[in-house]
Chain A
């Protein structure tokens, strides 16, 4: 490669240009990058040169020779340094006055850094590191400080003291304006970007256990909120870019891996270790190029590529354990406490009915003597896996000698879940190859094969494992007299029966296997100067397998509506799904720089994509035994298959123009057709324009040494959303069979309303941003204001059922999202400590502007007994509705003096007659807004510090001022005595004389005598979920070694989810079991989110 780079022929004209501008021109012309320390050039050097079709090597020699500067190709760069033949003159040895300092310079990941300039402060004396990053410098005894500098890294001044050896880690100048940022269908210098784009460098994230790549998005970029709904191993986080913009269609961003738009989820298979960087495209200027899939933001993932230079091998091994800390376990009553509770429930009820306390013989025998109960089973503890281990091993090899650059990686990840008998395993292999065939042709191929398998359980909701283990009778033992695990806990004294959750976890088999092959291939032709054609093909093949077997030994819970002790009819199901997705892009790009500082960068292309999914599934029940769970032996079997596909065809174009880097203009356009819409409305147009103004370069700006860069930018554009089902605009016939003459008679009925006019949902987006860099990029600030209005939302709305259907997909309504994002990056060196800190905060406000034309009727969802979400004009998305609680009725007189609340008795919650009609009606009419699940703001704060060989990294994330509906309390605070209850139930209302410590509190609990007015949606279940979470702490130590076996190594220790500061009583203030768009903040108990402690080592060979 070295020779090829130098042999490429270049034409250029330089006339009295500064070093900087001359080299920049060469960089663009020859598609190379220089690395140099400007001090190697004499001050005020001006370069002049004309070359026509001259090999780069001879041109460089000609250009640089006069300045005694050598060049060397290394790692994609051309390093300029003072000529070896003419080193900086070593001052004559003056005896003991000089001494030698040796050392090695590396980057943050431990890679060797050749070409780093080292100068003794206050002198001309200096050197440059060699190809292994090593250096040797003779310094005068009087020297105190060395200055290390290298383009792309922060300059460091380091005291020598008495050392004779000094190793230095250079810190990337992340905000370097020259940095290339991956954007849609290409890349751009950060400096030139006029859109809202956040970049995440994966190596800055620290030791977060990367079970799923979406975890890497947490807290890293303003406007990007990644929340963890549950602790299920391998489960992707919910990712929202600038809020929820649609009530009906999906709100997940589009994920693009190495240029391949994979879809709104990349699942569980991608190995986070293979990712180099992530760009998040937020405004229309950045996302409109993805047209119909751009509305929810676009997340561009770039995988690692081979580095120029010799082969390198790195190995990382992490090991950790997960636990649920006591502070985040939900506290329920112990056996003796529950026995006492049962006793009190009976006597309270008796007192209410009969006006006196019961005689002992009137109390059912099972609960008559609570004092005799001593046993406690903590069912919740029993399902937790203590010290659940995870292991993450990765081997990564890069090579870049010769025309081919390659990166090969193998990763194995194995995680045992925080609940017993659940786990997640991932094996992945990646090969990224890129090569230059000749000066016209470059090509590359990335291949990623992976396999994931999981054992999972039904964990969400009160009837599932996590919920039921809170509700089970704590008086019941786990094992029977013979020490055998009891399969089923038959309720005594009116307590609901449940399968033993431990037995269920161990005996119900639910597992998946997902094999995936991702491939990207491209060929790029340099057709003429500045003109390139790139053709790429991407494929994703995915094979999903799911098997479940529920053996006959599992009973049916009573809470699920019908109870049954085992045996049940064993049942099994299996499914196989195959997905094939192919996309292809043909792109033509042209770059030209004109005299006088004008630059034009053009792109035009065609993109097509098609996905097809086929699945086969079978169910079987009634097995002869539980030993052979295969469908073939089931007495009753059924099978089915399905198939669907979608396709997209798009034409796209982009033009970027800049004048002297000061005035920047960009326009993109995409015309896209989708199979998901009717023939009249198949195509949509998605334009965007943006502009930037580098104010700091204006002559009127005072030249200061602290203002590095100031750029104002703005954008407007239109994006779309087609994330709905595949054939929603059509109406199909659905089977509805019958029996005629004792024989099956096939029948069909119409399934839905057709809506031939179903069309794109579009968002108009406006964005204004300010980028400010101060003190030579020490402090970088970005502020962003945006407003987007989504119209013609794709939405399934309720239709009067007299039409024959209860819902229809249509385009309706408007939703507005506006917000402010602030991000700050600061780095400073205090003494020997390099400190970097990064903070971001996002304020997003959604507002529904219109629902169904003139009809302002709000849209309700949820249930009377479990929280109502309402979409209402003028209000944010997904507001929680219910009765407003005014307190607890103490006496009959109080009830009579209040608006009619039929069925209320002393101890009932007192609700507000919101419509003032004199009656609290037993329907939704008196329900009002009781909570907002949208935070006022979300924030993240990262601190990283290095001291000598130590590094320390903290990350906090948080969200402020939002509410959750803690639905599980309708069961865990059910005073009927049919469930175990929360510890705080002891402080319930019992009688007018004994109303609990704070009956007026919103979350106070009423009495035990009723079932009406207890579990209806009300603010009794609403809690503030504001929180701050110390998501990760990592402490690392780097061992540098001159050992020939390995170059260096780093060991680290990290804790994830170390502590949570919140008043929210549940395990996870981000939990949700309803849909993540319009029904947020509904917590009915789910797989708990554990704390992870891990240690690891990375060795670079």
Chain B
């Protein structure tokens, strides 16, 4: 009789019956990668839109629906912002699967040769996600295991950033040891190079310039190189090329549901099919390059025309609504693009290396050489004779244009500035936008608080809902 009452969902596998063999572990690890897509799909909101690089194609007719994005652009976010809640939740959802798979892996009897690459990839992801969280929110809840009961979640508290950075360094150091330099027939997986790049970036963020330089130098020994044509980094026909250290993989042109749609998200709202090539999917008009960004390119920079366009022509009329062009490639099914998203490129490594060496030892020839490799590929003259301070400015400028629209800008600004400096910088940018908006605003003026930044906005607020249900959780200063 008990048999009659023991039913299970025939369409799914019970968690307790899974994690039994290498194939299932591979699926569990792939699942963690799968969650990376969702996180990457909205990462531009902060990585770019919150910074001076991009604004968005303001829609005077639809204010209510766009309120969450407007708040990010204008620096008026509050703890109730739904985008931030999604950001926070999706990171912890992915971390659960990292932790759970690591726990199951530890109990498993898989042989080391099979287990270690899995473990390395998972530890990389744990580090990557915590690195994101700590940069978004400052102190956050740190969990390296799964909770036995949901009840335990109501007492979780945030821990100081230093503890989180310690965990990130530990995970990455272990991942570097566990991961292979390359896989056979596994393009898209996290490699030793990716772990080293992330570790270098972490050290740089912590201003541990020695460690950063040493770690990043390791990457240069792994056979990466700049591709001659900058555009190849984004061309779906040349995915995972020699410059690529880690790309989020997408695949369009089919029914598998693994496509990207960045070109639609970024194309101007009213551009119809002129930009994307398909009229049947309406573009969203977000992540619009600012006037400031368009002016940032030196004359002759080959990257500008690849990365952005200053407007589009529809029915013979030119509309000056700029858009990100990097990810805009032809595809065979409306709304389903084939573009990967670059997370780490070798160019980033070279520029980080140049920056760390400059901070550590000044503008040495080695540092200059790394930066000039990137400039020369862009068709620009090499720089020389810079002071340490000038080098610092030059490398930031180079990062801005080389890595434009790849979600580095907001973090780079916060990395090199104090909260007070960051607020001042953003207020200056805001003043320029208010005076000369990148996109026309119809008859609607700016609100008083638009583009007014305070130092506390250096960090995002902890989502209100999380504090409502867990009073042990503190809010970032001044967001209360």
- Are A and B bound to each other? yes
Known: A730-B8, A742-B251, A864-B80. A800 touches B466 (CB 8 A): yes
Q: Is the CB of A923 within 8 A of B239?
A: no
B147 at interface, CB cutoff 8 A: yes
Q: Is the CB of B188 within 8 A of A739?
A: yes
Q: Is the CB of B468 within 8 A of A860?
A: yes
Q: Measured between alpha carbons, how far is A643 from B9 in the docked complex, in Å?
A: 7
B293 at interface, CB cutoff 8 A: no
Number of interface residues of A (CB under 8 A): 91
Contact residues in B for A647 (Cβ distance below 8 Å): 4-5, 7
Q: Is the CB of A805 within 8 A of B150?
A: yes
A732 at interface, CB cutoff 8 A: yes
> Taking the nearest CB of chain B, how far is it from the CB of A1016, in angstroms?
10
A903 at interface, CB cutoff 8 A: yes
> Taking the nearest CB of chain B, how far is it from the CB of A755, in angstroms?
8
Q: Is the CB of A732 within 8 A of B80?
A: no
Contact residues in A for B61 (Cβ distance below 8 Å): 491, 494-496, 558, 976, 978
Q: Is the CB of B150 within 8 A of A799?
A: yes
Known: A494-B61, A673-B5, A804-B97. A746 touches B255 (CB 8 A): no
Which residue of chain B has its CB nearest to the CB of A743? Answer: B251
A32 at interface, CB cutoff 8 A: no
Within 8 A of B (CB), among A433-462: none
Contact residues in A for B99 (Cβ distance below 8 Å): 804
B107 at interface, CB cutoff 8 A: no
Q: Measured between alpha carbons, how far is A1015 from B140 in the docked complex, in Å?
A: 33
Contact residues in A for B343 (Cβ distance below 8 Å): none
Select B258's contact among A673, A737, A754, beta carbons within 8 Å. A737
Which residue of chain A has its CB nearest to the CB of B23? Answer: A746
Q: Is the CB of B186 within 8 A of A750?
A: no
Contact residues in A for B7 (Cβ distance below 8 Å): 645-647, 675, 726-727
Q: Measured between alpha carbons, how far is A133 from B465 in the docked complex, in Å?
A: 73
Select A749's contact among B6, B35, B152, B466, beta carbons within 8 Å. B35
A775 at interface, CB cutoff 8 A: no
B64 at interface, CB cutoff 8 A: yes
Q: Is the CB of A649 within 8 A of B13?
A: no
A161 at interface, CB cutoff 8 A: no
> Taking the nearest CB of chain B, how far is it from the CB of A713, in angstroms?
35
Within 8 A of A (CB), among B61-96: 61-65, 78-80, 88-89, 92-93, 95-96
What are the interface flags for A475-500 relative to B under an 8 Å C-beta threshold, 1 for contact and 0 otherwise?
00000000000000001001110000
Q: Is the CB of A803 within 8 A of B153?
A: yes
Known: A727-B7, A740-B249, A748-B28. A733 touches B80 (CB 8 A): no
Which residue of chain B has its CB nearest to the CB of A674? Answer: B5
Q: Is the CB of B30 within 8 A of A740?
A: yes
Select B239's contact among A742, A745, A748, A903, beta carbons within 8 Å. A742
Q: Measured between alpha carbons, how far is A981 from B29 in the docked complex, in Å?
A: 53
A523 at interface, CB cutoff 8 A: no
Contact residues in A for B79 (Cβ distance below 8 Å): 923
Q: Measured between alpha carbons, how far is A644 from B140 in the docked complex, in Å?
A: 40
Q: Measured between alpha carbons, how far is A277 from B330 in the docked complex, in Å?
A: 66
Contact residues in B for A561 (Cβ distance below 8 Å): 62, 65
Q: Is the CB of A732 within 8 A of B5?
A: no
Contact residues in B for A731 (Cβ distance below 8 Å): 14-16
A1012 at interface, CB cutoff 8 A: yes
Q: Is the CB of A922 within 8 A of B30?
A: no
Q: Is the CB of B466 within 8 A of A738?
A: no
Tell which of A630-638, A825-833, A1023-1031 binds the partner: A630-638
What are the interface flags for A747-771 relative to B under an 8 Å C-beta threshold, 1 for contact and 0 otherwise?
1111101110000000000000000
Of listed B30, B35, B88, B281, residue having the most chain A CB within 10 A: B30
Q: Measured between alpha carbons, how far is A733 from B25 in the docked complex, in Å?
A: 12
Which residue of chain A has its CB nearest to the CB of B256? Answer: A744
Of listed A562, A755, A798, residue having the most chain B CB within 10 A: A562
A849 at interface, CB cutoff 8 A: no
B18 at interface, CB cutoff 8 A: yes
Known: A562-B282, A801-B466. A923 touches B12 (CB 8 A): no
Known: A649-B4, A923-B78. A855 touches B28 (CB 8 A): no
B100 at interface, CB cutoff 8 A: yes
Within 8 A of B (CB), among A75-109: none
Contact residues in B for A622 (Cβ distance below 8 Å): 280, 333-334
Tell which of B312-320, B357-365, B442-450 binds the partner: B442-450
What are the interface flags for A633-663 relative to B under an 8 Å C-beta threshold, 1 for contact and 0 otherwise?
0011110011111111100000000000000
Q: Measured between alpha carbons, how far is A924 from B468 in the docked complex, in Å?
A: 10
Contact residues in B for A922 (Cβ distance below 8 Å): 78, 80
Which residue of chain A has its CB nearest to the CB of B158? Answer: A802
Q: Is the CB of A734 within 8 A of B60?
A: no
B132 at interface, CB cutoff 8 A: no
Contact residues in B for A568 (Cβ distance below 8 Å): 280
Contact residues in B for A569 (Cβ distance below 8 Å): 280-281, 334-335
Q: Is the CB of B284 within 8 A of A562?
A: yes
A67 at interface, CB cutoff 8 A: no
Contact residues in A for B470 (Cβ distance below 8 Å): 800
Contact residues in B for A806 (Cβ distance below 8 Å): 89
Contact residues in A for B95 (Cβ distance below 8 Å): 804
Q: Is the CB of B186 within 8 A of A740?
A: yes
Select A730's contact among B14, B37, B443, B448, beta carbons within 8 Å. B14
Within 8 A of A (CB), among B5-54: 5-16, 18, 24, 27-37
Please report the number of residue pairs spanning A and B whose Cβ atoms sit closer than 8 angstroms.
251
Q: Is the CB of A747 within 8 A of B469?
A: no
Q: Measured between alpha carbons, how far is A204 from B153 in the docked complex, in Å?
A: 57
Q: Measured between alpha carbons, how far is A635 from B255 in the docked complex, in Å?
A: 10
Contact residues in A for B471 (Cβ distance below 8 Å): 857
Q: Is the CB of B12 within 8 A of A751?
A: yes
Contact residues in B for A836 (Cβ distance below 8 Å): none
B257 at interface, CB cutoff 8 A: yes
Contact residues in A for B153 (Cβ distance below 8 Å): 799-800, 802-803
Known: A682-B5, A734-B12. A747 touches B33 (CB 8 A): yes
Contact residues in A for B187 (Cβ distance below 8 Å): 740-742
Q: Is the CB of B30 within 8 A of A745?
A: yes
Q: Is the CB of B147 within 8 A of A749?
A: no
Q: Measured between alpha carbons, how far is A855 from B150 in the docked complex, in Å?
A: 14
What are the interface flags for B465-477 relative to A under an 8 Å C-beta threshold, 1 for contact and 0 otherwise?
1101111010000
Q: Measured between alpha carbons, how far is A790 from B11 in the docked complex, in Å?
A: 33
Q: Is the CB of A1012 within 8 A of B447?
A: yes
Contact residues in B for A643 (Cβ distance below 8 Å): 10-11
Q: Measured between alpha carbons, how far is A351 from B301 in the docked complex, in Å?
A: 47
Q: Is the CB of B185 within 8 A of A741?
A: yes
Within 8 A of B (CB), among A798-834: 798-806, 808, 810
Q: Is the CB of B5 within 8 A of A738?
A: no
Contact residues in A for B473 (Cβ distance below 8 Å): 800
Contact residues in A for B9 (Cβ distance below 8 Å): 644, 726-727, 730, 732
Q: Is the CB of B258 within 8 A of A739?
A: yes
B250 at interface, CB cutoff 8 A: yes
Within 8 A of A (CB), among B427-478: 442-443, 445, 447-449, 464-466, 468-471, 473
Which residue of chain B has its CB nearest to the CB of A491? Answer: B61
Q: Is the CB of B93 within 8 A of A353?
A: no
Which residue of chain B has its CB nearest to the CB of A648? Answer: B5
Q: Measured between alpha carbons, how far is A976 from B330 in the docked complex, in Å?
A: 38
Q: Measured between alpha carbons, how far is A649 from B29 in the docked complex, in Å?
A: 40
Q: Measured between alpha carbons, how far is A494 from B14 in the docked complex, in Å?
A: 52
Can you list 9 pairs linking A and B with CB atoms under 8 Å apart? A562-B284, A727-B9, A740-B186, A741-B185, A748-B31, A750-B100, A801-B89, A802-B143, A922-B80
Q: Using CB atoms and an 8 Å cutoff, list the residues of chain B in contact with chain A.
A: 1-2, 4-16, 18, 24, 27-37, 60-65, 78-80, 88-89, 92-93, 95-97, 99-100, 140-141, 143, 146-147, 150, 152-154, 156, 185-189, 239, 249-251, 255-258, 269, 279-282, 284, 333-335, 442-443, 445, 447-449, 464-466, 468-471, 473
By Cβ-Cβ distance, the 10 closest A-B pairs, closest first, are A804-B96, A747-B30, A736-B34, A747-B31, A803-B153, A732-B12, A749-B31, A739-B249, A738-B33, A802-B141
Known: A798-B469, A804-B96. 6 other contacts (CB 8 A): A568-B280, A742-B239, A749-B32, A749-B97, A801-B92, A804-B95
